[in-house]
A and B are shown apart, each in its own frame.
Chain A
């Protein structure tokens, strides 16, 4: 495939059609078109409205606890013996992950648009919990679609959603993971177009979702950039984040995209290895296709049927990726690397022991890559890892993997 032309800036996309190069777009049924056109119009008004910005800012500070800290992981740095490793502590946000950033933004949009009901899809349950949380806070009924496999492996989050008043609908189609939950959420949306707001959890889906989710999540990178300048007096050498759909990653990356000396690495779920089909590394092992409203890299067979994939981490268990990542991959601005289940598990345990922080399995993938590269870097070099969420939800999965009973 031809490499796309190098843009002057990596931060201007998408274009008016919602495209990042050949990626993105609006591949949806006609029933949904008027809705996403309306959403785009409302979003364009809202993002320039000082009142909207002030309300989001206020909630981010006093409800979600922003800014999140940029923490020098001294224990891990000492253990690795190379570059200084910093964690962007999204795990400290209200609800325990970066997902709240997007949910607060979108619930304010839903309110502006006069919607009466919220639906969401979730993989690990972090987005489901964040959606249920903002729905509770703003008084909306909320239905969360979650793959049946994920309902089983993320039971603490299922219970949290129910406590928050959301209805969790298990989806049994396919492997019962995030892809299937997203199909079912789209079916709900196409049926209940009049009153329902679809709160997509990642920077994927039809335009304008990839853009608006990115913009709500970019607070991560904007803060991290200012914080590292404050704490170290310079920009980092490397920034790393895990990529499922890719919202925490694009949130960290976007403000750094035009800092050409900052190396940017996205981590895909390598599962049991890229040789077989038990992984979710769509950008390393897939090819461009069309699913869930956008064109992007997908795991698929020669007939264009989508594969289910696998990851130890429910949040990365998705056969696609947000379209902007696909574009950043093809332009070469961001490098995407796989991390195996076992490597993530090792990073999960190490971080817990040397830092006293239990990271989400998703974030553990990003830490695992830092563990690979930091030892051979100079001691004055800096790596920032996005610690996108806390790992309390994963303790059952990890115990099972380690053969322990709890």
Chain B
């Protein structure tokens, strides 16, 4: 069984370039604006969309994504609405993979079985759930795989060779390598170390390895993309939204356009990655 993620990653591999994976917060600053942002992503050069599910207590996120989640919750976003957003997007785009990213509690409260049925029906292809390590695979990972939804695991600098097989065991779609120990939005780690880590993980799996946490500019995307199968950008996109919001949350420019401009630049960086590496 292949998913949109598998097909997209295979296609990009054939093209010889890494994927640009873009994270944005569902419902930030409101449903309609956020849907417009989502719809603008593929045209701007995003290959895989990570749709953030806001949570009141995002323990692994830095200030930018914390604030985005709060804006979304204040704007009335719920998991029901996040799934609706995915299905509205899906009505106009049946190719771009959508990965839901967030924390477990809203899914647990929604009900795992009901969630998987509704997520599948909404065109969701994969899940990244930060607080479900392999030790908790029975909770959601195994049921998701059974439902035909990829479960994408985070590997981190603390995931050593001994632990890596456990982390990779039920992972599918791609492996998300977290470039440093820390929260989202921190400074990018030493790129040489990241490249070495990607190589190490690839020694254990045939899955594509995407790298995130700390990638903010086209140049960084190019450098990381030289060794990884994909580059994940999140905080920079969330900041692009925040930057066009005034003190009372009023829009001072079009957030979808601001995000599209940023993503176009990142896409150029990613697309030049292997060319640069080949030189």
Contact = CB atoms under 8 A, between A and B. Distances in A.
Given A31-B178, A304-B107, A26 B136 contact: yes
Contacts, number: 115
Given A33-B135, A34-B163, A303 B181 contact: no
Interface residues of B, number: 43
B186 interface: yes
B231 to A, nearest CB: 19
B182 A304 contact: no
Given A34-B158, A290-B104, A303-B109, A29 B57 contact: no
Nearest to A17: B135
A125 to B, nearest CB: 21
A29 B158 CA distance: 11
A85 to B, nearest CB: 39
Interface in B183-202: 183, 186
B259 interface: no
A295 B140 CA distance: 14
B158 A305 contact: no
Contact of A31 (B57, B62, B78, B156): B156
Interface in A183-231: 183, 186-187, 190-194
A173 B62 CA distance: 12
Interface residues of A, number: 37
A404 interface: no
B154 interface: yes
A304 B159 contact: no
A375 interface: no
Contacts of B155: 30
Contacts of A193: 158, 181
B55 interface: yes
B159 A34 contact: yes
Contacts of A30: 133, 153-156, 158-159, 167, 178
A18 to B, nearest CB: 9
Interface in A132-173: 173
Nearest to A25: B136
Contacts of B80: 303
Given A31-B60, A191-B183, 17 more contacts: A27-B133, A29-B60, A29-B130, A29-B156, A33-B158, A33-B159, A34-B158, A34-B159, A173-B66, A183-B57, A287-B109, A292-B59, A295-B108, A302-B109, A304-B105, A304-B106, A305-B55
24 contacts: A26-B133, A28-B131, A29-B130, A29-B156, A30-B159, A30-B178, A31-B181, A33-B135, A34-B158, A34-B159, A35-B158, A173-B66, A179-B57, A183-B57, A186-B60, A187-B59, A191-B181, A191-B183, A289-B108, A295-B108, A300-B109, A304-B79, A304-B105, A305-B56
